[in-house]
Chain A
């Protein structure tokens, strides 16, 4: 057993932290929350030049073939700095399944673009049920000649307004189980008449309703096999749950760090408030939460890294992160007092992003169900 990162992994973390401290201060996070695109294309290009988009992709697509754990480390740092933009949508939700399930033609065409920072992608799954469940997939896909025609809409699609491609889960048939008959389509946004309307959120991120009114998808633009899409969705959600968990882990650590510093500096009753047990014990609880998230995350990520993912350990990590991230933010605001409730303070930036993070790649109920099923229930 070994709980330490490699030297290269430590270097990756340090260089990511340095880059983001310079390029992604909280002023940038605030600015991007108001920006129409929601991300800074110049920073996006720099990230690509640093090799972040290509981190875990094979060299043949321009990547550096690093491990899944390396991506987790990078995304912890991104979460720590609340990096705005479509990195999670593009890499976690789309590029990873493209690598695993894409045809060689799709991979050769799309992956180098993504690795170079020139492709922005997102995944359209959830519909009116608001749940990541197969029974919620109603968007119809009807075969016409060699093409499919999509009819329906998707909700809470992240970064759809800047995406050039959207992977859409549609229903091409009905089977015994709701999982049967789901197909994943690759929709070229510029070449089709999808309608994109913003769903304003409390987090300052970008989410959309995406409507498909007789959108024609050419026969080749299918990810995986017709009718077998849910197996891919399942795997996408597992990988994405771990990567979202990594962002949340970094965010939790950042909130703990800022609260610890504040508790040492803030003087009341002639002493630092961190000397009061009411504050100190709150911080100790936060630390235990942070480390629980970290070790569950590393366990889940390690499983994926060695090619032996454990779905229930993945779900344990995400469910724990969902609960812990929220609690840590709430406790941090309480420890800060009124200043923590202001627009100027950073802690609110994290708190406002809790909800989006909780629902991304499966809410707590979904992941608890995976865990409890493992118990034989």
Chain B
């Protein structure tokens, strides 16, 4: 065993720190949890471009697609630091970098790779993606999707509805899961993936505001949307296999990003507790506060090890079956723990609107507090993740 970071990784950390200091308001803890990153889209994209110019945006991709073949360990460090400093624009609509790109590399045609990967790597608006998975009757029961794609000459015609589609209002492309074989023996055997241009006639995006009034996700309607057959990803009816891979990619990055943003929150809370008087002494002397911050720090350290362990497993050419689910659960639990601990430390100020001048720590705690229940549902609920661990790691019978 060896848990050392190499000089490359340490240098990268330092470069990102300098970048953050230069590009973002100095020493400001950023509130990124609650509305993802889509509120100030132009600013986000301006940062995406800068990240692309630094060679960071898609660092772990091969050079021919705009990356620089960075190791998954470097990528993990990068994600931790991006989240720590609250640098927006790192994901090209969440989907683009995290799973559309990697899945196209695994399952796409050379033509698809040549067209879409450089767009994502550019950091421009035309490289922003959304992902159409959930539907009104297909949440955790994902294989129950009903959006249909029917072959028509050189095209497919798509009809149906998606929901909770993050960033659909910002995306140029949709990574869309549809049903192509309605009569397949098993539901998950009749699913395919398509690349859909969000500017196609028949695509309608309606906002769904979250309970805090922020516009993060949408419902998306497809009304006789015509898509060229060359936009089918991989083989027809093999989509379920690609979906599972995409979800594993998505869940992988939750541990590094949660670790980064919570590490920052923890440090800010520790500073705040040292500077805030309560009953005649600094809050940091309060044993309850000390115990809670210690517990947060301890669990964060475990999350860090989980993040590195998963990256290491993948870099060994292994396919992690349960580790992504483990990391997702741990990350979500910690975001909750951080939000609640933070709110307790802020006391009465924890109720202040995060955008208000009254907000402490730039509203980061309220952002986490309002944001964590949503984050915990996205990409698979804790219940789904625990069932994956039960079946694939512990060998227990299917529970649903």
Enumerate chain A interface residues (CB-CB to B < 8 A).
Answer: 1-5, 69, 260, 263-264, 271-272, 274-277, 280-281, 283-285, 287-288, 291-292, 295-296, 298-299, 302, 313, 316, 319-320, 365, 368-369, 371-372, 374-377
**0 or 1 for each of B359-400: is its CB under 8 Å from A? (1 = yes):** 000000000000000000000000101110110011111111
Specify the chain A residue showing the minimal Cβ separation from B316: A4
Sort A-B residue pairs by CB-CB distance and give the 8 closest, nearest first: A368-B294, A295-B305, A280-B390, A284-B386, A292-B302, A275-B397, A274-B396, A284-B389
**0 or 1 for each of B256-300: is its CB under 8 Å from A? (1 = yes):** 000000000011001101100000000010000011011101110
Across the interface, which residues of B come within 8 angstroms of A319, CB to CB? 294-295, 298
- Interface contact A313-B301, CB-CB below 8 Å: yes
**0 or 1 for each of B296-318: is its CB under 8 Å from A? (1 = yes):** 01110110011011011100000
Q: Which of B1, B266, B395, B398 contacts A5 (CB 8 A)?
A: B1
> Is the C-beta of B73 less than 8 angstroms from some C-beta in chain A?
yes
Enumerate chain B interface residues (CB-CB to A < 8 A).
Answer: 1-5, 73, 266-267, 270-271, 273-274, 284, 290-291, 293-295, 297-299, 301-302, 305-306, 308-309, 311-313, 326, 329-330, 383, 385-387, 389-390, 393-400
- Interface contact B394-A3, CB-CB below 8 Å: no
- Interface contact A377-B397, CB-CB below 8 Å: no
- Interface contact A296-B290, CB-CB below 8 Å: no
- Interface contact A376-B390, CB-CB below 8 Å: no
User: A292–B306 Cα gap in the complex (Å)?
Assistant: 8
- Interface contact B293-A375, CB-CB below 8 Å: yes
Across the interface, which residues of A come within 8 angstroms of B387, CB to CB? 277, 280-281, 284
A1-B73, A277-B400 known; A369-B294 Cβ under 8 A: yes
Across the interface, which residues of A come within 8 angstroms of B273, CB to CB? 377
Q: Which of A263, A298, A320, A374 contacts B1 (CB 8 A)?
A: A298
User: A68–B242 Cα gap in the complex (Å)?
Assistant: 43
- Interface contact B297-A316, CB-CB below 8 Å: yes
Q: Which of A3, A260, A274, A365 contacts B313 (CB 8 A)?
A: A3
User: A5–B5 Cα gap in the complex (Å)?
Assistant: 18
User: A319–B299 Cα gap in the complex (Å)?
Assistant: 10
Across the interface, which residues of A come within 8 angstroms of B389, CB to CB? 283-284, 287-288
- Interface contact B393-A287, CB-CB below 8 Å: yes
How many whole Å from B60's CB to the nearest CB in chain A? 15
How many whole Å from B361's CB to the nearest CB in chain A? 15
User: A337–B85 Cα gap in the complex (Å)?
Assistant: 48
Main SS at interface, chain A: helix
- Interface contact B298-A320, CB-CB below 8 Å: yes
- Interface contact B297-A372, CB-CB below 8 Å: yes
Main SS at interface, chain B: helix
- Interface contact B397-A3, CB-CB below 8 Å: no
Q: Which of B3, B284, B293 contacts A302 (CB 8 A)?
A: B3
- Interface contact A284-B267, CB-CB below 8 Å: no
A1-B308, A319-B294, A377-B274 known; A296-B302 Cβ under 8 A: yes
A-B contact pairs, 30 of them (CB 8 A): A1-B2, A1-B73, A2-B312, A3-B309, A272-B397, A274-B394, A275-B399, A277-B383, A280-B399, A284-B393, A287-B394, A292-B302, A292-B305, A292-B330, A295-B309, A298-B1, A298-B3, A316-B297, A316-B302, A319-B295, A319-B298, A320-B299, A320-B302, A365-B291, A369-B290, A369-B294, A371-B294, A372-B290, A377-B270, A377-B273
User: A284–B396 Cα gap in the complex (Å)?
Assistant: 10
User: A365–B266 Cα gap in the complex (Å)?
Assistant: 19
Across the interface, which residues of B come within 8 angstroms of A5, CB to CB? 1
Across the interface, which residues of A come within 8 angstroms of B386, CB to CB? 277, 280-281, 284-285
Specify the chain A residue showing the minimal Cβ separation from B295: A368
- Interface contact A69-B390, CB-CB below 8 Å: no
Q: Which of B1, B73, B266, B394 contacts A260 (CB 8 A)?
A: B394
- Interface contact B301-A316, CB-CB below 8 Å: yes
- Interface contact A375-B4, CB-CB below 8 Å: no
Specify the chain B residue showing the minimal Cβ separation from A289: B302
Specify the chain A residue showing the minimal Cβ separation from B390: A280
User: A295–B397 Cα gap in the complex (Å)?
Assistant: 27
User: A285–B294 Cα gap in the complex (Å)?
Assistant: 21
User: A295–B263 Cα gap in the complex (Å)?
Assistant: 18
- Interface contact B2-A2, CB-CB below 8 Å: yes
Across the interface, which residues of A come within 8 angstroms of B308, CB to CB? 1, 3
How many whole Å from B236's CB to the nearest CB in chain A? 34
- Interface contact A260-B396, CB-CB below 8 Å: yes
- Interface contact B1-A69, CB-CB below 8 Å: yes
How many whole Å from A168's CB to the nearest CB in chain B? 31
Could you say which of B2, B3, B389, B399 has the most chain A C-beta atoms within 10 Å of its C-beta?
A: B3
- Interface contact B291-A368, CB-CB below 8 Å: yes
Across the interface, which residues of A come within 8 angstroms of B306, CB to CB? 291-292, 295
A292-B306, A302-B1, A377-B270 known; A275-B298 Cβ under 8 A: no
Across the interface, which residues of B come within 8 angstroms of A369, CB to CB? 290, 294
Across the interface, which residues of B come within 8 angstroms of A260, CB to CB? 394-396
Across the interface, which residues of A come within 8 angstroms of B298, CB to CB? 296, 316, 319-320, 368, 371
User: A298–B301 Cα gap in the complex (Å)?
Assistant: 12
Across the interface, which residues of A come within 8 angstroms of B271, CB to CB? 376
How many whole Å from B380's CB to the nearest CB in chain A? 13
A260-B395, A295-B309, A375-B267 known; A368-B329 Cβ under 8 A: no
Across the interface, which residues of A come within 8 angstroms of B266, CB to CB? 375
A275-B399, A320-B298 known; A375-B270 Cβ under 8 A: yes
User: A272–B391 Cα gap in the complex (Å)?
Assistant: 13
How many whole Å from B293's CB to the nearest CB in chain A? 6
How many whole Å from B146's CB to the nearest CB in chain A? 26
Specify the chain A residue showing the minimal Cβ separation from B312: A3
- Interface contact A275-B297, CB-CB below 8 Å: no
How many whole Å from A331's CB to the nearest CB in chain B? 13
Across the interface, which residues of B come within 8 angstroms of A292, CB to CB? 299, 302, 305-306, 330
A1-B5, A281-B383, A368-B295 known; A377-B399 Cβ under 8 A: no
Across the interface, which residues of B come within 8 angstroms of A365, CB to CB? 291
How many whole Å from A303's CB to the nearest CB in chain B? 8
Across the interface, which residues of A come within 8 angstroms of B400, CB to CB? 277
- Interface contact A288-B329, CB-CB below 8 Å: yes
How many whole Å from A316's CB to the nearest CB in chain B? 4
Across the interface, which residues of A come within 8 angstroms of B284, CB to CB? 377
User: A69–B2 Cα gap in the complex (Å)?
Assistant: 11
Specify the chain B residue showing the minimal Cβ separation from A72: B1
User: A302–B1 Cα gap in the complex (Å)?
Assistant: 7
User: A1–B383 Cα gap in the complex (Å)?
Assistant: 32
User: A127–B393 Cα gap in the complex (Å)?
Assistant: 45
User: A133–B273 Cα gap in the complex (Å)?
Assistant: 25
Specify the chain B residue showing the minimal Cβ separation from A9: B1
How many whole Å from B302's CB to the nearest CB in chain A? 4
